[in-house]
Homo-oligomer: A and B are copies of this chain.
Protein backbone atom coordinates (compact mmCIF):
# COMPACT_ATOMS: atom_id res chain seq x y z
CA UNK A 1 0.00 0.00 0.00
CA UNK A 2 1.38 3.39 -0.92
CA UNK A 3 0.40 5.62 1.99
CA UNK A 4 1.08 8.87 0.13
CA UNK A 5 -1.57 8.03 -2.47
CA UNK A 6 -4.12 7.01 0.12
CA UNK A 7 -6.81 9.58 0.85
CA UNK A 8 -6.70 10.37 4.55
CA UNK A 9 -9.77 8.79 6.13
CA UNK A 10 -12.23 11.23 7.68
CA UNK A 11 -13.14 11.18 11.36
CA UNK A 12 -16.48 9.68 10.36
CA UNK A 13 -14.61 7.04 8.35
CA UNK A 14 -12.62 6.14 11.40
CA UNK A 15 -15.75 5.74 13.48
CA UNK A 16 -17.26 3.61 10.73
CA UNK A 17 -14.14 1.43 10.70
CA UNK A 18 -14.49 1.05 14.44
CA UNK A 19 -18.12 0.09 14.05
CA UNK A 20 -17.27 -2.54 11.44
CA UNK A 21 -14.60 -3.98 13.72
CA UNK A 22 -17.01 -4.12 16.66
CA UNK A 23 -19.60 -5.76 14.43
CA UNK A 24 -17.06 -8.30 13.15
CA UNK A 25 -15.96 -9.18 16.67
CA UNK A 26 -19.59 -9.49 17.77
CA UNK A 27 -20.36 -11.70 14.77
CA UNK A 28 -17.40 -13.98 15.48
CA UNK A 29 -18.51 -14.32 19.10
CA UNK A 30 -21.92 -15.41 17.92
CA UNK A 31 -20.34 -17.89 15.49
CA UNK A 32 -18.16 -19.32 18.27
CA UNK A 33 -21.16 -19.46 20.55
CA UNK A 34 -22.87 -21.89 18.15
CA UNK A 35 -23.48 -25.17 19.97
CA UNK A 36 -20.17 -27.07 19.98
CA UNK A 37 -22.08 -30.23 20.96
CA UNK A 38 -24.83 -29.88 18.35
CA UNK A 39 -25.37 -33.65 18.09
CA UNK A 40 -26.00 -33.96 21.83
CA UNK A 41 -29.59 -33.56 22.98
CA UNK A 42 -30.23 -31.28 25.94
CA UNK A 43 -30.28 -33.36 29.11
CA UNK A 44 -28.21 -34.35 32.14
CA UNK A 45 -25.29 -35.82 30.13
CA UNK A 46 -24.73 -32.76 27.98
CA UNK A 47 -25.24 -30.53 31.01
CA UNK A 48 -22.63 -32.44 33.00
CA UNK A 49 -20.07 -32.08 30.20
CA UNK A 50 -20.69 -28.36 29.65
CA UNK A 51 -20.61 -27.58 33.37
CA UNK A 52 -17.44 -29.59 33.88
CA UNK A 53 -15.57 -27.90 31.03
CA UNK A 54 -16.79 -24.47 32.14
CA UNK A 55 -15.61 -25.11 35.71
CA UNK A 56 -12.12 -26.42 34.92
CA UNK A 57 -11.39 -23.69 32.35
CA UNK A 58 -12.64 -20.71 34.39
CA UNK A 59 -9.64 -19.11 36.09
CA UNK A 60 -11.90 -17.72 38.78
CA UNK A 61 -13.40 -21.11 39.58
CA UNK A 62 -12.24 -23.18 42.55
CA UNK A 63 -12.19 -26.09 40.08
CA UNK A 64 -9.79 -24.40 37.64
CA UNK A 65 -7.23 -26.75 36.06
CA UNK A 66 -4.07 -25.58 34.25
CA UNK A 67 -4.22 -26.41 30.50
CA UNK A 68 -1.23 -28.77 30.81
CA UNK A 69 -3.23 -30.95 33.24
CA UNK A 70 -6.35 -31.11 31.09
CA UNK A 71 -5.89 -34.72 30.03
CA UNK A 72 -8.92 -36.54 28.60
CA UNK A 73 -8.86 -40.27 27.81
CA UNK A 74 -11.31 -42.17 25.62
CA UNK A 75 -11.76 -45.87 25.14
CA UNK A 76 -12.08 -46.69 21.42
CA UNK A 77 -14.29 -49.74 20.72
CA UNK A 78 -17.90 -48.90 21.61
CA UNK A 79 -16.91 -45.45 22.87
CA UNK A 80 -15.62 -43.76 19.72
CA UNK A 81 -16.67 -46.28 17.06
CA UNK A 82 -18.89 -49.33 16.62
CA UNK A 83 -17.77 -52.51 18.41
CA UNK A 84 -20.85 -54.69 17.86
CA UNK A 85 -21.34 -57.53 16.97
CA UNK A 86 -17.60 -58.18 16.98
CA UNK A 87 -14.50 -56.08 17.63
CA UNK A 88 -13.19 -54.69 14.34
CA UNK A 89 -9.67 -55.86 15.06
CA UNK A 90 -10.78 -59.50 15.32
CA UNK A 91 -12.38 -59.24 11.87
CA UNK A 92 -9.09 -57.87 10.59
CA UNK A 93 -7.31 -60.81 12.21
CA UNK A 94 -9.71 -63.37 10.63
CA UNK A 95 -9.21 -61.78 7.21
CA UNK A 96 -5.47 -61.90 7.71
CA UNK A 97 -5.72 -65.62 8.53
CA UNK A 98 -7.18 -66.04 5.03
CA UNK A 99 -4.43 -63.91 3.48
CA UNK A 100 -1.66 -65.82 5.25
CA UNK A 101 -3.25 -69.28 4.85
CA UNK A 102 -1.20 -70.31 1.77
CA UNK A 103 1.94 -70.05 3.95
CA UNK A 104 0.26 -72.15 6.69
CA UNK A 105 -1.28 -75.30 5.13
CA UNK A 106 -1.72 -76.72 8.66
CA UNK A 107 -4.37 -74.09 9.41
CA UNK A 108 -6.87 -75.94 7.15
CA UNK A 109 -7.28 -78.58 9.80
CA UNK A 110 -6.32 -76.77 12.98
CA UNK A 111 -8.65 -74.72 15.20
CA UNK A 112 -9.17 -71.87 15.71
CA UNK A 113 -7.60 -71.15 12.29
CA UNK A 114 -9.88 -73.61 10.51
CA UNK A 115 -12.90 -71.76 11.94
CA UNK A 116 -11.55 -68.38 10.83
CA UNK A 117 -10.90 -69.72 7.31
CA UNK A 118 -14.44 -71.12 7.09
CA UNK A 119 -16.16 -68.09 8.70
CA UNK A 120 -17.26 -70.49 11.44
CA UNK A 121 -17.42 -68.04 14.34
CA UNK A 122 -18.81 -70.74 16.64
CA UNK A 123 -15.64 -72.77 16.22
CA UNK A 124 -13.48 -69.70 16.77
CA UNK A 125 -15.53 -68.78 19.84
CA UNK A 126 -15.19 -72.30 21.21
CA UNK A 127 -11.42 -71.83 21.31
CA UNK A 128 -11.91 -69.15 23.95
CA UNK A 129 -9.58 -66.27 24.73
CA UNK A 130 -6.59 -68.59 24.28
CA UNK A 131 -7.63 -69.35 20.71
CA UNK A 132 -8.34 -65.72 19.92
CA UNK A 133 -4.92 -64.74 21.23
CA UNK A 134 -3.37 -67.43 19.06
CA UNK A 135 -5.02 -65.86 16.03
CA UNK A 136 -3.98 -62.36 17.07
CA UNK A 137 -0.36 -63.43 17.59
CA UNK A 138 -0.21 -65.25 14.25
CA UNK A 139 -1.70 -62.31 12.35
CA UNK A 140 -0.16 -59.34 14.17
CA UNK A 141 3.49 -60.39 14.10
CA UNK A 142 6.19 -61.46 11.68
CA UNK A 143 6.13 -58.19 9.75
CA UNK A 144 7.99 -54.94 10.17
CA UNK A 145 6.20 -52.06 11.85
CA UNK A 146 5.89 -50.28 8.50
CA UNK A 147 4.47 -53.36 6.74
CA UNK A 148 1.87 -53.90 9.47
CA UNK A 149 0.81 -50.26 9.32
CA UNK A 150 0.24 -50.65 5.59
CA UNK A 151 -1.79 -53.86 6.08
CA UNK A 152 -4.06 -52.15 8.60
CA UNK A 153 -4.46 -49.03 6.47
CA UNK A 154 -5.39 -51.09 3.39
CA UNK A 155 -7.88 -53.21 5.29
CA UNK A 156 -9.62 -50.26 6.98
CA UNK A 157 -9.77 -48.40 3.66
CA UNK A 158 -11.67 -51.23 1.95
CA UNK A 159 -13.63 -53.33 4.47
CA UNK A 160 -17.25 -52.51 5.22
CA UNK A 161 -19.22 -53.24 8.37
CA UNK A 162 -21.97 -55.83 7.83
CA UNK A 163 -25.05 -54.00 9.18
CA UNK A 164 -24.31 -50.50 7.94
CA UNK A 165 -22.31 -51.24 4.77
CA UNK A 166 -19.92 -48.42 5.65
CA UNK A 167 -16.18 -48.34 6.34
CA UNK A 168 -15.36 -48.68 10.05
CA UNK A 169 -13.81 -45.22 10.00
CA UNK A 170 -17.23 -43.95 8.93
CA UNK A 171 -18.87 -45.66 11.90
CA UNK A 172 -17.39 -43.27 14.43
CA UNK A 173 -19.83 -41.40 16.64
CA UNK A 174 -20.57 -37.82 15.61
CA UNK A 175 -21.32 -36.65 19.20
CA UNK A 176 -17.91 -37.95 20.29
CA UNK A 177 -16.11 -36.21 17.42
CA UNK A 178 -17.78 -33.01 18.58
CA UNK A 179 -16.80 -33.69 22.19
CA UNK A 180 -13.15 -34.36 21.25
CA UNK A 181 -13.01 -31.12 19.25
CA UNK A 182 -14.77 -29.21 22.03
CA UNK A 183 -12.31 -30.47 24.64
CA UNK A 184 -9.33 -29.59 22.45
CA UNK A 185 -10.77 -26.12 21.82
CA UNK A 186 -10.82 -25.78 25.61
CA UNK A 187 -7.16 -26.64 26.03
CA UNK A 188 -7.52 -30.39 26.64
CA UNK A 189 -5.13 -32.94 25.20
CA UNK A 190 -7.18 -35.93 24.02
CA UNK A 191 -5.95 -39.53 24.15
CA UNK A 192 -7.29 -42.91 23.10
CA UNK A 193 -6.82 -45.53 25.84
CA UNK A 194 -8.07 -48.79 24.41
CA UNK A 195 -7.83 -52.51 25.04
CA UNK A 196 -7.36 -52.83 21.29
CA UNK A 197 -4.00 -52.97 19.57
CA UNK A 198 -2.09 -49.71 19.54
CA UNK A 199 -0.82 -50.45 16.03
CA UNK A 200 -4.35 -51.12 14.78
CA UNK A 201 -5.65 -47.67 15.78
CA UNK A 202 -2.67 -45.44 15.05
CA UNK A 203 -2.87 -45.54 11.25
CA UNK A 204 -6.32 -43.90 11.34
CA UNK A 205 -6.38 -42.01 14.65
CA UNK A 206 -5.22 -38.63 13.38
CA UNK A 207 -7.43 -38.48 10.29
CA UNK A 208 -10.47 -40.01 12.00
CA UNK A 209 -10.36 -38.45 15.48
CA UNK A 210 -7.76 -35.69 15.28
CA UNK A 211 -5.69 -37.73 17.75
CA UNK A 212 -2.04 -38.19 16.67
CA UNK A 213 -0.44 -41.68 16.94
CA UNK A 214 1.63 -40.68 19.98
CA UNK A 215 -1.61 -39.97 21.86
CA UNK A 216 -2.89 -43.51 21.36
CA UNK A 217 -2.41 -45.97 24.23
CA UNK A 218 -3.28 -49.60 23.62
CA UNK A 219 -2.27 -53.24 23.81
CA UNK A 220 0.92 -54.19 22.01
CA UNK A 221 3.18 -57.02 20.92
CA UNK A 222 6.90 -57.05 21.64
CA UNK A 223 8.97 -55.37 18.93
CA UNK A 224 12.63 -55.93 18.14
CA UNK A 225 15.16 -53.71 16.43
CA UNK A 226 16.77 -55.79 13.68
CA UNK A 227 18.63 -55.40 10.42
CA UNK A 228 16.31 -56.48 7.62
CA UNK A 229 17.48 -56.50 3.99
CA UNK A 230 20.45 -54.45 5.17
CA UNK A 231 18.25 -51.74 6.71
CA UNK A 232 17.38 -51.17 10.37
CA UNK A 233 13.76 -52.12 10.99
CA UNK A 234 11.36 -52.84 13.82
CA UNK A 235 10.04 -56.38 13.66
CA UNK A 236 6.82 -57.37 15.41
CA UNK A 237 7.25 -60.52 17.51
CA UNK A 238 4.59 -63.17 18.36
CA UNK A 239 4.65 -62.21 22.04
CA UNK A 240 2.39 -59.97 24.10
CA UNK A 241 4.10 -56.82 25.37
CA UNK A 242 1.21 -55.25 27.28
CA UNK A 243 -2.55 -55.75 27.64
CA UNK A 244 -4.06 -52.32 28.04
CA UNK A 245 -7.39 -53.46 29.44
CA UNK A 246 -9.23 -53.32 32.78
CA UNK A 247 -6.61 -52.74 35.51
CA UNK A 248 -4.11 -52.37 32.66
CA UNK A 249 -5.68 -49.09 31.57
CA UNK A 250 -4.51 -46.96 34.51
CA UNK A 251 -1.10 -48.63 34.15
CA UNK A 252 -0.98 -47.81 30.44
CA UNK A 253 -1.97 -44.23 31.27
CA UNK A 254 0.85 -43.99 33.82
CA UNK A 255 3.52 -45.48 31.59
CA UNK A 256 2.45 -43.65 28.46
CA UNK A 257 0.95 -40.33 29.52
CA UNK A 258 2.44 -39.90 32.98
CA UNK A 259 -0.43 -37.75 34.23
CA UNK A 260 -3.80 -38.67 35.67
CA UNK A 261 -6.70 -37.72 33.37
CA UNK A 262 -9.37 -35.34 34.64
CA UNK A 263 -11.95 -36.74 32.21
CA UNK A 264 -12.32 -40.35 31.11
CA UNK A 265 -14.95 -41.87 28.82
CA UNK A 266 -15.62 -45.57 28.35
CA UNK A 267 -18.51 -47.86 27.56
CA UNK A 268 -17.99 -51.12 29.42
CA UNK A 269 -16.95 -52.67 32.71
CA UNK A 270 -13.45 -52.95 31.21
CA UNK A 271 -13.23 -49.16 31.50
CA UNK A 272 -14.11 -49.05 35.21
CA UNK A 273 -10.54 -48.99 36.48
CA UNK A 274 -9.59 -46.16 34.12
CA UNK A 275 -12.54 -44.16 35.35
CA UNK A 276 -11.97 -45.03 39.02
CA UNK A 277 -8.36 -43.90 38.69
CA UNK A 278 -9.44 -40.70 36.97
CA UNK A 279 -12.08 -39.88 39.59
CA UNK A 280 -9.75 -40.62 42.52
CA UNK A 281 -7.55 -37.62 41.72
CA UNK A 282 -7.89 -34.33 43.55
CA UNK A 283 -10.18 -31.61 42.25
CA UNK A 284 -13.12 -31.86 39.92
CA UNK A 285 -13.29 -34.91 37.64
CA UNK A 286 -15.67 -36.36 35.10
CA UNK A 287 -16.22 -40.04 34.29
CA UNK A 288 -18.63 -41.15 31.57
CA UNK A 289 -19.89 -44.34 29.94
CA UNK A 290 -21.71 -44.75 26.64
CA UNK A 291 -24.78 -46.95 27.18
CA UNK A 292 -25.73 -48.66 23.90
CA UNK A 293 -29.52 -48.33 23.99
CA UNK A 294 -30.31 -47.72 20.36
CA UNK A 295 -31.22 -50.87 18.42
CA UNK A 296 -32.54 -48.79 15.53
CA UNK A 297 -29.71 -46.41 14.86
CA UNK A 298 -26.90 -48.64 16.21
CA UNK A 299 -27.25 -51.57 18.65
CA UNK A 300 -28.76 -52.14 22.09
CA UNK A 301 -26.68 -54.23 24.52
CA UNK A 302 -25.36 -54.01 28.04
CA UNK A 303 -25.46 -56.48 30.94
CA UNK A 304 -25.05 -59.81 29.20
CA UNK A 305 -23.31 -58.88 26.01
CA UNK A 306 -20.47 -60.85 24.41
CA UNK A 307 -18.73 -57.56 23.65
CA UNK A 308 -18.66 -54.34 25.67
CA UNK A 309 -20.50 -55.68 28.72
CA UNK A 310 -21.86 -52.78 30.79
CA UNK A 311 -23.11 -54.30 34.02
CA UNK A 312 -21.25 -53.50 37.23
CA UNK A 313 -20.59 -49.97 36.01
CA UNK A 314 -24.35 -49.45 35.51
CA UNK A 315 -25.01 -50.56 39.08
CA UNK A 316 -22.28 -48.38 40.57
CA UNK A 317 -22.74 -45.27 38.41
CA UNK A 318 -25.02 -43.32 40.72
CA UNK A 319 -23.03 -44.00 43.87
CA UNK A 320 -19.79 -43.04 42.13
CA UNK A 321 -21.08 -39.98 40.29
CA UNK A 322 -20.41 -41.51 36.88
CA UNK A 323 -22.43 -40.17 33.96
CA UNK A 324 -24.25 -42.79 31.90
CA UNK A 325 -24.75 -41.45 28.40
CA UNK A 326 -27.89 -42.97 26.90
CA UNK A 327 -27.24 -43.26 23.16
CA UNK A 328 -30.93 -43.21 22.26
CA UNK A 329 -31.87 -40.26 24.47
CA UNK A 330 -28.65 -38.25 24.57
CA UNK A 331 -27.45 -38.39 20.96
CA UNK A 332 -29.30 -36.46 18.27
CA UNK A 333 -27.34 -38.27 15.59
CA UNK A 334 -25.10 -41.31 16.00
CA UNK A 335 -22.65 -41.65 13.13
CA UNK A 336 -20.24 -39.15 11.66
CA UNK A 337 -21.62 -37.10 8.81
CA UNK A 338 -20.28 -38.08 5.44
Interface residues, chain A, CB within 8 Å of chain B? 3, 8-15, 18-19, 68, 71, 145, 189, 191, 198-199, 202, 206, 212-216, 220, 223-225, 231-234, 241, 247-248, 250-251, 254-259, 273, 276-277, 280
Contacts and interface: CB of A to CB of B under 8 A. Distances in A.
Given A8-B11, A8-B12, A202-B258, A250 B234 contact: yes
A268 to B, nearest CB: 17
Contacts of A8: 11-12, 14-15
B9 A214 contact: no
Nearest to A227: B276
A13 B255 CA distance: 60
Contact of A254 (B216, B223, B247, B255): B223
Contacts of A248: 225
A14 B15 contact: no
Contacts of A231: 280
B11 A212 contact: no
A233 B277 CA distance: 7
Contact of A258 (B189, B216, B247): B216
A213 B15 CA distance: 50
7 contacts: A214-B259, A223-B255, A225-B248, A234-B250, A234-B251, A234-B254, A241-B255
A185 to B, nearest CB: 19
Nearest to A226: B247
Contacts of A247: 224-225
Q: Which of A12, A213, A233, A248 has the most CB of B within 10 A?
A: A213
A231 B273 CA distance: 12
B9 A14 contact: yes
B277 A225 contact: yes
Nearest to A203: B258
A202 to B, nearest CB: 5
A337 B212 CA distance: 34
Given A231-B280, A276-B232, A213 B251 contact: no
Given A11-B8, A225-B250, A234-B254, A68 B216 contact: no
B223 A251 contact: yes
Contacts of A257: 213-214
Contacts of A11: 8-11
A66 to B, nearest CB: 10
Nearest to A17: B14
A258 B214 contact: yes
A19 B18 CA distance: 18
Contacts of A19: 3
A59 to B, nearest CB: 19
A256 B242 CA distance: 12
A290 B198 CA distance: 33
- In this complex, which of A216, A273, A280 has the most chain B Cβ atoms within 10 angstroms of its Cβ? A280
A199 to B, nearest CB: 8
Contacts of A189: 212, 214
A280 B12 CA distance: 63
